[in-house]
């Protein structure tokens, strides 16, 4: 699966928008989150990252400051 870049944004074929994701049932949301968590880091789109950051229980270790 290949990402398409437009400006600073990355798009993945067959990804859901935030509105589409929010309209899913809770079971479908969980299934979609599991699908996203199973993707390789290079396959995750910008929208996927937003969904994962807002709805996933997985803790992301992001270092904004490093020495």
10 lies in a domain? Answer: yes
64 lies in a domain? Answer: no
Domain count, the chain: 1
C-beta of residue 44 within 8 angstroms of C-beta of residue 9: no
- 45/47 Cα distance (integer angstroms): 5
Q: What is the pLDDT of the chain when averaged over all its residues?
A: 86
Cβ of 12: how many Cβ atoms within 10 Å?
Answer: 18
12 lies in a domain? Answer: yes
**What's the pLDDT band for 57 if we cut at 50, 70, 90?**
confident
Residue-level pLDDT at 66: 52
- Report residue 33 as tokens: 């989150």
The pLDDT of residue 16 is above 80: yes
Residue-level pLDDT at 2: 79
- When comparing pLDDT for 28 and 57, which is higher? 28
Residue-level pLDDT at 30: 94
């Amino acid at each position: 699966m290949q990402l398409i870049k437009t400006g600073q944004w990355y798009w993945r074929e067959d990804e859901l928008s935030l509105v589409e994701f929010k309209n899913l049932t809770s079971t479908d949301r969980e299934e979609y989150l599991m699908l996203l968590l199973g993707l390789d880091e290079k396959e995750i789109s910008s929208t996927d990252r937003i969904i994962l950051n807002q709805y996933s229980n997985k803790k992301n270790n992001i270092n904004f400051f490093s020495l």
